[in-house]
Amino acid sequence: MIVRSITSEVLSVGSIDWDRPMFDELVPLPDGTTYNSYLVKGAAKTALIDTVHPDKTGDLLDSLRRAGVRSLDYVVSNHAEQDHSGSIPAVLDLFPDAQVVTNSRCKGLLGDALGLPSEKILEVGDGDTLPLGGKTLRFLLMPWVHWPDTMVTYLEEDRILFSCDFMGSHLATSELFVTDEAKVREAAKRYYAEIMMPFRGMVQKHLERLRGLDIGIIAPSHGPIYPRPGFILDAYAEWVSDQVKPEVVIPYVSMYESTARMVTYLAAQLVEHGFGVRTFNLIRADLGEVAAALVDASTIVLASPTVLGGPHPGIVGGTFLINALKPKAKFVSFVGSYGWGGTAVEQLKKMLAGLKAEFLPPVLVKGAPKENDYKLLDSLVAALCLRHEMGTENAGADVRKGSAATAGT
């Protein structure tokens, strides 16, 4: 129940969720989150920009009462996912004359999820405006950032962009505006990795479109508000670019330490050759951290023991996630241990059909790694060094292509 002023006519009336551990029962939230809702008061009309998660409906309604809202004309729904739209029915119950303002795709999704009747919805198109009396809302459709229905709302007179999920962060904080840019950058990068990275090309396109707007403030649906919008716009430009860094992400599982020994050795050799390295034991890793590490990395090395002829289930889950996130990595390889044989590499390669990367020869060992096996890991490091000396701009062969030089059979 926190009401705070962004300007004299624009209020933040959303909710802080300090203790939420998971988002969509999928994404860990080490720092909680916020559900941001914004009230815009014009001389003639009043609009609410997005609502909050259904669990926090009471907070939103109390905030509207505390803000002295006696009538509401519009509820703008930038995106139908229920952490933004879930309180719309309750708001309409309190303000039955209000109209929901959204685009055609979102209109259908709101009907499906919330049962909103079509006659309650005012449909807008790309570039349409809505006058409030001295305040003008302009709507820009930005599909696939990160749903097909997403749009953003721009308050022309105050130069405020209500960006919905775009450029948000899962960060519960009492600060309305960003003060610690380094901390927020890390939270925003993780957020980008988890939900925006699969749509990098579309995000890149829409980001360029925003460069043409005169933006003074960016007010996202999650996390603090950006009073210096260039900070987050520049960060996104880096993340969505095709450029990668000489960083290697190694998600792994090890049952009897054979694979773990290979990972430890490989990581040390990569560091000695100037690579940045992040290793993640997928049995206990925070998948949000894994996703964030993938944003800039040039290389992914999956490491797994063989279980019943295939990869460990923990690696299977991690590989599914990597393929779904579609990071811009240029190189992929596999290392691991087996007892009598199997098709772990072949299965993992098929699971990575969504990546555009060069597959480097894997290193598989029978049992515990031996001297010759470590030499094969040295060869993998040498191959990566060579690729980076040549530059990564020519990489990008289908990950399903490539030879498989292994130790053992």
For the entire predicted model, the pTM comes to 0.93
CATH assignment at residue 40: 3.60.15.10
Residue 346 pLDDT: 96
In the chain, the amino acid numbered 150 is T
| 81 shares a domain with 225 | yes
**What are the tens digits of pLDDT across the range 78-135?**
999 999 999 999 999 999 999 999 999 999 999 999 999 999 999 999 999 999 999 9
Domain boundary among 200, 220, 240: 240
| 253 shares a domain with 224 | no
| 26 shares a domain with 164 | yes
Residue 407 pLDDT: 38
**What are the tens digits of pLDDT across the range 154-205?**
999 999 999 999 999 999 999 999 999 999 999 999 999 999 999 999 999 9
C-alpha–C-alpha distance, residues 125 and 121, integer Å: 13
Residue 81 pLDDT: 97
Enumerate residue ranges in the chain where pLDDT < 70: 1, 392-409
Query: Does residue 318 form part of some domain?
Result: yes
Query: Does residue 400 form part of some domain?
Result: no
| 354 shares a domain with 210 | no
| 269 shares a domain with 226 | no
| 297 shares a domain with 200 | no
| 204 shares a domain with 58 | yes
CATH assignment at residue 285: 3.40.50.360
| 218 shares a domain with 142 | yes
| 272 shares a domain with 233 | no
| 142 shares a domain with 64 | yes
| 189 shares a domain with 52 | yes
Residue 406 pLDDT: 38
User: Domain tally for the chain?
Assistant: 2
Query: Does residue 397 form part of some domain?
Result: no
| 300 shares a domain with 236 | no
User: Domain containing 76: what range?
Assistant: 4-240
